[in-house]
Structure 1
Amino acid sequence: MLKDSKPRISARHSSRLKGVQALYQHELTSDDMNSIVEQVVSAIQEKAAIENFKGLVPDLEFFKEIVLGTHKNREAVDEEITANLSQGWRLERLPLVVLCILRQAVYELRYQPLVPGPVIINEYIEITKDFFDEAETSFVNGILDAISKKSR
Structure 2
Amino acid sequence: MATRHQARTAVVGLLYAYDLGNENIAKFSDEILEEDKIRNKQRDFSHDLFDGTIENLEMLDAEIEKHLTDWDYDAIGRVEKAILRLGAYEILVAKTDRAIIINEAVELAKSLADEKSPQFINGVLDAIGK
| TM-score, shorter chain, exceeding 0.5 | yes
Structure with bigger gyration radius: 1
Give the TM-score of the pair, scaled to structure 1. Answer: 0.76
Shift of 1:92: 1.1
Q: Secondary structure at the match of 2:129?
A: helix
Alignment of 1:1-150 (within 5 A): 11-44=3-36, 59-87=42-70, 89-113=71-95, 115-149=96-130
Task: Report percent identity of matched pairs.
Answer: 30
In structure 1, distance between residues paired with 2:114 and 2:75: 18
* Total equivalences in the alignment: 129
In structure 2, distance between residues paired with 1:101 and 1:26: 13
Structure 1: gaps (5+ residues):
1-9, 49-55
In structure 2, distance between residues paired with 1:98 and 1:130: 11
Give the TM-score of the pair, scaled to structure 2. Answer: 0.88
Is the contact between residue 22 and residue 36 of structure 1 (CA under 8 Å) also seen in structure 2? no
Shift of 1:37: 2.0
In structure 2, distance between residues paired with 1:41 and 1:126: 20
Q: How large is the RMSD of aligned CA atoms in angstroms?
A: 2.1
